[in-house]
Amino acid sequence: MTEIFRLEELFPENALPKEQNINFHKALSMGESFAKKNVKPNNCLICNSSKNPFCNSHSVPARCLRAIAINGDVKIFNGLVKIPAVDDDKGVNEAGTFRLICRDCDEKIFKEYETFEKYPDKNPPDKVLHQIALKNYLKFYYKKAVEAKAFPKMLENLQLPNSALLEPVLKPGDRDKKDSFKAIYDTKKLLNSNTNGYYRIVEYRKLDYTCPFAFQGSISLITGFDGEIINDVFNTDKKYDLQDMHVCVFPEKDYTYIIVFYKKHFQRYSQFAKHYSNLSQEERLQLLLYIILKYSEDYFYSASIQTIENDPVVHDAITTTTMMICDYEEEEGAKIKKCIQEYNLNNYKKLPNVLSKCYVKS
């Protein structure tokens, strides 16, 4: 039987006594520390230099995090997931950072996209979008590399009631690492090109308020609104490529940029883009929030909206993982059908729309 795996099955609330909570926290810390020491490359992944010091790059521009921080902290995914003994906030300097490139590259390569003051009224140039895409692929590669190192170390030390479920769920995705590394290489080559219209821009909008929520990342939608398959996550054919879409929520003082785009030749998104264009502006924001919560954990939000942490609709959206516990003998078609049902985008309307202006504290 195909089953959607949920995080609370691994970490049921109050399931661990105090001593086990402490041991669990230690195991997580040891695994993460070990991984970060062992995934840093010898050379910068952009310029290939080994001479310049490496930088703590932010997956979301630090200026966006500062715009929503309270007392220097932002809330992270565990504020919603509530895994025992794991922090639910981080300081701006630590939130969403990775170490793969040198300081010189971090300051130069991403300059245009992080300078919101120079954003045009109409669609941004390809150069800005190339920079956003490259940052997303770097972060994704780093995440998968850390998982590959951290999870085996964690499993050595963890003693959980549902540990039998943990190992197959946390098994690192080698294909994800390889695909993201190739995406980094391909996008680097585009940085100095003169492309025009390389991407289909689904949304580019400047809101006149500061959203209490920040996100930047690439997301591979499984399905859209009509049960179509956008990405078959069970397809093991080496010639089958997952197609991703880039989503950005960039809050700043007094305004927020919303940017959504994908490579123009990614035709599997055409039906989604058409449906998206027919939604109202408020519906688009609500849908994007649903997509982010459903597919990612790399978002940040302000403590000013922490009331959403007890919202059952929000909890239902964020506790699904795309990793499936399946009977290996089951037909592949049954697996993807269950996934399509779980990730149907029509469910977005139930979600509290924290990207809308009504959630801004006056």
| pLDDT tens digits, one per residue of 12-64 | 545 556 566 666 666 666 666 666 677 778 899 999 998 889 999 999 999 99
Taking the C-alpha atoms of residue 239 and residue 219, their distance in angstroms, rounded to an integer, is 20
Using CA atoms, how far apart are residues 259 and 254, in angstroms rounded to an integer? Answer: 17
Q: Give the CA-trace dihedral at 124, 220, 217, 260, to 10 degrees.
A: 30
Q: Supply 189's token pair.
A: 């080559």
d(CA 247, CA 268): 17
Q: Collect all residues with Cβ–Cβ distance below 8 Å to 125 and sequence separation of at least 6.
A: none
Check whether 1 has a pLDDT greater than 50: no
Give me the pLDDT at residue 158, please. Answer: 61
Rounded to an integer, what distance in angstroms lies between the CA atom of residue 221 and that of residue 200?
Answer: 16
pLDDT digits (tens, 9 = 90+) for 142-189: 988 887 776 666 666 665 555 555 555 555 456 777 888 899 999 999
**Unique residue bearing structure tokens 């639910």:** 88
**What tokens does 228 get?**
């179509």
* Residue 168, C-beta contacts closer than 8 angstroms, at least 6 positions apart: 325
Q: What is the mean pLDDT of the chain?
A: 85
Does pLDDT of 81 surpass 90?
no
**What pLDDT score was predicted for residue 179?**
85
pLDDT band, residue 271 (cuts 50/70/90): very high
Whole-model pTM: value is 0.89
Q: Where are the domains of the chain?
A: 3-354
The larger pLDDT score, comparing residue 86 to residue 340, is at: 340
Q: Would you state the pLDDT for residue 87?
A: 81
Which residues touch 24 (CB under 8 Å, ≥6 apart)? Answer: 16, 84, 85, 158, 160
Residue 125 has pLDDT above 60, yes or no: yes
Whole-number Å distance between alpha carbons of 206 and 212: 15
Average pLDDT value for residue range 271-293: 97
Residue range 298-303: mean pLDDT, rounded? 96
Please measure the distance between the N-terminal and C-terminal CA atoms of the chain and give it in whole angstroms: 50
* pLDDT: which is higher, 122 or 323: 122
Q: How far apart are CA 211 and CA 253, in angstroms?
A: 9
Of 125, 134, 116, 133, the C-alpha closest to 62 is 116
Percent of residues, the chain, with pLDDT higher than 70? 78
Mention every residue, 6+ apart, whose C-beta is less than 8 A from residue 172. 144, 147, 148, 151
Residue 338, pLDDT score: 85
Predicted confidence band at 322 (pLDDT cuts at 50, 70, 90)? Answer: very low
pLDDT of res. 165: 54
Q: Calculate mean pLDDT across residues 250-276.
A: 97
Q: Are 241 and 188 in contact (CB under 8 A)?
A: no
